[in-house]
Amino acid sequence: MAARDRDDDEDFDLGISLEAVAAIVDAARAVQEGEESGRLAREEEDEEGLDAEDEENMDEDALRAFIADLNEDEQASLIALAWIGRGDYSGEEWEEARALAKERNTRDTAEYLLGIDMLGDMIEEGLSELGLSLEDADGS
C-alpha cells in the first residue's frame, strides 16, 4: 500500500515537476554508473580513460548545472525524495522532510545529492513511497 492514500492529488504538492525528477534520475544514474566504468577504464588504459573522464565530467557538469538552476523549493523536494527513498523518512512525513531539507539546504545541493550512493534509485523509491512513478512523467 502506498504511503499516500489520498484521492485529492490537487492538494499534494511535490514541489518539482515529475519531468524534472525523471531527467535528474536518468542523469544521476548515468553519472554514477559512468564513475564506476570510468575508474575501470582509467585503470586499464590511461590514454583512453582520459577521454572517458572528460565525457563523464561533461555529463556530471550538466547535471550539477541543472540542479543549481532549480529553485529552493525544487531542490528541497529532491533532497526530501532522496531521504524518503533511503528510509530516513516515510511517505507520510513528506512535508516534514521537505521543510527540513529546505531549512538545511545551505550548501551545494548538487554536491550533496551526488554524494548519495545510488541517487537515482533513492529518488525513484521516494516517489514510489508517495504513490508516484517516473512513468507518470511520460503521460504529461
Average pLDDT (3-11) is 47
Average pLDDT (16-33) is 93
pLDDT at 1: 40
Q: Which three cell numbers, joined as nine digits, stand for 71?
A: 529553485
Q: 57 pLDDT band (50/70/90 cuts)? A: low
* Cα–Cα dist 39/26, whole Å: 20
Q: Would you say residue 47 has pLDDT above 60?
A: no
What does the DSSP 8-state code read for residue 54?
A: H
- How many other C-beta atoms are found inside a 10 Å radius of the C-beta of residue 13? 12
Q: Would you say residue 99 has pLDDT above 50?
A: yes
Weakest mean pLDDT among 10-19, 20-29, 78-87: 10-19
